[in-house]
Amino acid sequence: MTTPFVSIIIPCRNEERYISKCLETILAQDYPKDKMEILVVDGMSEDKTREIIKNWKLKIGNLRLLDNPKKIAPSALNIGVKNSTGEIIMRMDAHARYERDYLSKCVKYLKEYGADNIGGTMKTLPQKSTIVAKAIALSLSHIFGAASRFRIGESQPVAELRSSPTLRSARVKEVDTVFGGCYKREVFDRIGFFNENLIRSQDLEFNLRLKRAGGKIILHPDIVSYYYPKPTLGEFFWHNFQDGIWSILPLKFVKVPFKLRHYIPLIFVLTLPLSFWPYILLSLFFSLQIAAREKDLRLFFAMPLAFATRHFGYGLGSIWGLVKLIL
């Protein structure tokens, strides 16, 4: 069986702290090096990112650095796809690292499941050793925080899709989107490219478009990556605020709403103070659970702050996105 050639696309901008870690885990992949190319599409970074990438080019012959003058993720992805040569296109994140078999499993399961796009579980790791950074990372892997982001919801088991014993696991699901994504190249010929009007949420919109065109997106838990969220409450709030804006603003360009789960923080903020006390009770309950599980009492006090920063940031951002949409 012929091993398919894979094009890895990494959008980045000002990622001097993480781009080396990302490239190290890609270089350590068990996939044949002569069957892959790495395209780092840089949004004209103002730190040492470009210098670091150029140094890596001396070690990796199949690494290319491409410019992204628009400095936004969808244009970086489109530049990468248009300059790639692989029959499989894989989007990887500079702010993440990957298990050694990440690439090989993506390629294997993409064919085995007859999928158009496949991804896996993403585990969050704290950027710093502070209790706040740990609480933020834990909040993004908990169902009360943002489980749908990493264990993409509204899914259905795909055990019935094939008779292979591997596929009988209910953990393998057909979903509406995945982190990153490993695509058949023909997907881009069929439905086009990423929408450059969407500064964020472009992956979600693209995958929803793929689903509407009859495409199949699979989440396989054996495919594992690790992500480093913002380490402080201020940075975390701003990141979620921006995410909230772009849960609403895409309606200005694509006219198709996202799933209900993306609007829950908006509903929560709009229904205050009615929703406040149930929210507080749930937050304290889950925070106590996490503190007990992690055997760290400090998390009982830190987790409510992380949850609130996530939910209020996203909800307030959604309100601002609604204002921008109306105006």
CATH code where residue 32 lies: 3.90.550.10
Do 206 and 271 lie in a common domain? yes
The pTM assigned to this predicted structure is: 0.85
Q: H/E element holding 97?
A: strand 96-98
- Which residues form the domain of 144? 99-326
Residue in the structure block whose two tokens are 């709009």:
270
Do 115 and 90 lie in a common domain? no
Q: How far apart are CA 83 and CA 72, in angstroms?
A: 17
Q: How far apart are CA 71 and CA 11, in angstroms?
A: 9
Do 244 and 288 lie in a common domain? yes
Q: How far apart are CA 283 and CA 303, in angstroms?
A: 8
Q: Over 80: is that where the pLDDT of 148 sits?
A: no
Cβ count near 314 (within 10 Å): 26
CA nearest to 307, candidates 93, 71, 158, 142: 142
Do 26 and 164 lie in a common domain? no
Look at residue 259 and give its three-state secondary structure: coil
Do 162 and 262 lie in a common domain? yes
Do 121 and 90 lie in a common domain? no
Do 169 and 158 lie in a common domain? yes
Structural tokens at position 6: 């894979």
Do 158 and 128 lie in a common domain? yes
- Which of 58, 81, 97 terminates a domain? The answer is 97
HSE, CB side, 13 Å, CA atoms: give it for residue 7: 22
Q: How confident is the model at residue 267 (pLDDT cuts 50, 70, 90)?
A: confident
Look at residue 231 and give its three-state secondary structure: coil
Look at residue 12 and give its three-state secondary structure: strand
Q: How far apart are CA 116 and CA 303, in angstroms?
A: 37
pLDDT of residue 245: 93
How confident is the model over 39-65, as a mean pLDDT? 92
Where b means 16+ CB within 10 Å and e means fewer, 208-218 reads bbbbeeebbbb
Do 21 and 36 lie in a common domain? yes
Which is more confident, 155 or 89?
A: 89
Structural tokens at position 129: 């050793």
- Which of 45, 73, 97 terminates a domain? The answer is 97
Residue in the structure block whose two tokens are 């793929």:
210
Do 149 and 210 lie in a common domain? yes
How confident is the model over 271-299, as a mean pLDDT? 95
- Which of 78, 97, 116 terminates a domain? The answer is 97
Cβ count near 234 (within 10 Å): 11
Do 6 and 77 lie in a common domain? yes
Q: How far apart are CA 186 and CA 201, in angstroms?
A: 22
Tally of domains in the chain:
2
- pLDDT tens, position by position, 165-190: 344 445 888 998 899 899 999 999 99
Do 144 and 265 lie in a common domain? yes
